[in-house]
């Protein structure tokens, strides 16, 4: 096997080894086709079969209801910050946004270019180290939609419940926790996720949209920016990111072989528990995130005293020991281990062992 190290990158992130191996084996020639997946027409029967595998795989594992479309788009999660309001805004109505970190702030910046935004709750004054409580969220009954981010990749918080929004569509950026746990899709009007954390390579964005919501958009909206276009053309209006969709199909099939969402959720809970327990029981490291809101995907931690020099040393020595990607996001500093679906429990154990050793040597 190739010399692979422990990868804790926040994204693009580690992929399941069996997926990479299959992609390698099929790179020059898809079985029975004699060409690489990168060399065939997106309108060929062969590619349509791959697209159907990706779509039906997502529909099966997430149990996506029939009245929802599954789309594979481009432009990253960031383009959805604009596409969502361009398609879902309603003249004269505000949007409710729950402000929980850098990604909702970026979305806020784009949504308010299109329509008025009401901040329904925000934990900014507490540096986003916790999520709002039910009581703190003030929803406007007249809102066009409610916008939130299910897992805050940078600050390390993750929602364990979702706000009840009644007839108002709930929109969620799930870029960093999609397919990491069981989910009731019917609670949402629209879910989107850049693929590069839990689904595959960068360049593909998954959108799951209740089909009737796509009808809100004006015909004057550029064709490529209308969800309607992509629903009608089954993500084949123009050339989609074919290689990324192929890898995504393999990732979803890998997940199903693992046992699907209940099994991966349990594995993710166990991995996170090992890491948080090691941090909480240490007198060298600490986790600044509110316990009830801690992410199972992005574990944010620091060295006590917020000693930046020592944190730098930690990242450097970890790298040398084969543990990569542990530097916190440049906007918050500190340390972060991203332990997405494809991160093996043995990698988490290797990290915990390294942390204990580092603490002993540097206390
Ligand atoms: C990574 C990330 C994004 C940005 O994704 P791009 O594909 O780079 O646009 C948006 N939201 C969340 C929650 C993320 O983790």
Number of neighbours of residue 103 by Cβ within 10 angstroms: 20
The whole-number pLDDT of residue 89 equals 98
Task: Show the 3-state SS of the chain.
Answer: CCCCCEECCCCCCCCCHHHHHHHHHHCCCCCCCCCCHHHCCCCCHHHHHHHHHHHHHHHHHHCCCCCEEEEEECCHHHHHHHHHHHHHCCCCCCEEEEECCHHHHHHHHHHHHHCCEEEEEECHHHCCCCCCCHHHCCCCCCCCCEEEECEECCCCEECCCCCCCCCCCEEEECCCCCCCCCCCHHHCCEEEEECCCCCCCCCCEEEEEEHHHHHHCCCCCCHHHCHHHHHHCCCCCCCCCHHHHHHHHHHHHHHHHHCHHHHHHHHHHHHHHHHHHHHHCCCCEECCCCHHHECCCEEEEEECCCCHHHHHHHHHHHHHCCEECCECCCCCCCEEEECCCCCCHHHHHHHHHHHHHHHHHHC
The whole-number pLDDT of residue 40 equals 98
For ligand 1, whether the C-beta of 77 sits within 6 Å is: yes
Residue 176 Cα: closest atom of ligand 1: 15
pLDDT grade for 302, boundaries at 50, 70 and 90: very high
The whole-number pLDDT of residue 1 equals 55
Residue 202 Cα: closest atom of ligand 1: 7
Q: Parallel, antiparallel, or unpaired for β 170-173 and 146-149? A: parallel
Q: How far is the CA of 196 from the centre of ligand 1 (A)?
A: 8
Q: What is the mean pLDDT of residues 154-159?
A: 98
The whole-number pLDDT of residue 266 equals 98
Name the β-bridge partners of 269: none
Q: What is the mean pLDDT of residues 1-8?
A: 87
Residue 2, pLDDT above cutoff 80 = no
Q: Kindly report the protein residue whose alpha carbon is nearest to atom 3 of ligand 1.
A: 77
As a whole-number percent, the residues of the chain with pLDDT over 90 amount to 98
pLDDT digits (tens, 9 = 90+) for 238-282: 999 999 999 999 999 999 999 999 999 999 999 999 999 999 999
Residue 294, burial from CB neighbour count under 10 angstroms (0-12, 13-18, 19+): buried
The whole-number pLDDT of residue 158 equals 98
32-64 burial by CB neighbour count: b if 16+ within 10 A, else e?
eeeeebeebebeeeebeebbebbbebbbebbeb
Q: How far apart are CA 138 and CA 323, in angstroms?
A: 42
pLDDT digits (tens, 9 = 90+) for 164-205: 999 999 999 999 999 999 999 999 999 999 999 999 999 999
pLDDT digits (tens, 9 = 90+) for 62-116: 999 999 999 999 999 999 999 999 999 999 999 999 999 999 999 999 999 999 9
The whole-number pLDDT of residue 331 equals 85
Decide if 197 is catalytic: yes
Arch. (CATH architecture) of 18-257: 3-Layer(aba) Sandwich (3.40)
The whole-number pLDDT of residue 150 equals 98
Domain-wise residue ranges, the chain: 18-257, 260-362
For ligand 1, whether the C-beta of 78 sits within 6 Å is: yes
Q: How far apart are CA 86 and CA 190, in angstroms?
A: 13
The chain-wide mean pLDDT, for the chain, equals: 97
260-362 CATH choice from 3.30.1490.20, 3.90.1150.10, 3.30.70.2660, 3.60.20.10: 3.90.1150.10
For ligand 1, whether the C-beta of 149 sits within 6 Å is: yes
Whether this prediction's pTM lies above 0.95 is answered by: yes
The whole-number pLDDT of residue 330 equals 87
Decide if 159 is catalytic: no
Q: What is the mean pLDDT of residues 32-37?
A: 96
Q: How far is the CA of 13 from the centre of ligand 1 (A)?
A: 12
Residue 345, pLDDT above cutoff 90 = yes
């Amino acid at each position: 096997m190739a010399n692979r190290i422990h990868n804790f990158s926040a994204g693009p992130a580690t992929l399941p080894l069996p997926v990479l191996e299959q992609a390698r084996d099929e790179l020059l020639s898809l079985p029975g086709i004699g060409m690489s997946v990168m060399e065939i027409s997106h309108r060929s029967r062969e590619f349509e079969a791959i697209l159907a595998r990706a779509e039906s795989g997502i529909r099966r594992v997430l149990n996506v209801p029939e009245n929802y479309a599954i789309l594979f788009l481009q432009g990253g999660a960031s383009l959805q910050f604009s596409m969502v309001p361009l398609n879902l805004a309603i003249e004269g109505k505000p949007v409710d946004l729950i402000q929980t970190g850098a990604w909702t702030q970026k979305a806020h910046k784009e949504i308010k270019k299109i329509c008025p935004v009401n901040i329904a709750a925000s934990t900014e004054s507490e540096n986003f180290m916790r999520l709002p409580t039910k009581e703190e969220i003030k929803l406007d009954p007249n809102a066009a939609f409610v916008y939130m981010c299910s897992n805050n990749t940078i600050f390390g918080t993750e929602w364990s419940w979702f706000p009840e929004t009644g007839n108002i569509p709930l929109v969620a950026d799930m870029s960093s926790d999609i397919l990491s746990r069981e989910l009731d899709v019917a609670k949402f009007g629209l879910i989107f996720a850049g693929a590069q954390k839990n689904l595959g390579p960068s360049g593909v964005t998954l959108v799951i949209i209740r089909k009737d919501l796509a009808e809100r958009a004006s015909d004057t909206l550029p064709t490529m920016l209308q969800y309607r276009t992509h629903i009608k053309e089954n993500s084949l209006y123009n050339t989609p990111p074919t290689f990324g969709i192929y890898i995504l199909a393999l990732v979803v099939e890998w997940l199903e072989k693992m046992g699907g969402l209940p099994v991966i959720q349990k594995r993710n809970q166990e991995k996170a528990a090992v890491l948080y327990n090691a941090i909480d029981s240490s007198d060298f490291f600490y986790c600044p995130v509110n316990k009830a809101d801690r992410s199972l995907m992005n574990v944010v931690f620091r060295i006590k005293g917020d000693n930046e020099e020592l944190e730098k040393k930690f990242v450097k020595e970890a790298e040398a020991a084969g543990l990569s990607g542990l530097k916190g996001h440049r906007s918050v500093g500190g340390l972060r281990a991203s332990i997405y679906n494809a991160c093996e429990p043995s990698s988490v154990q290797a990290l915990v062992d390294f942390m204990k050793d580092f603490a002993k040597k540097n206390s």
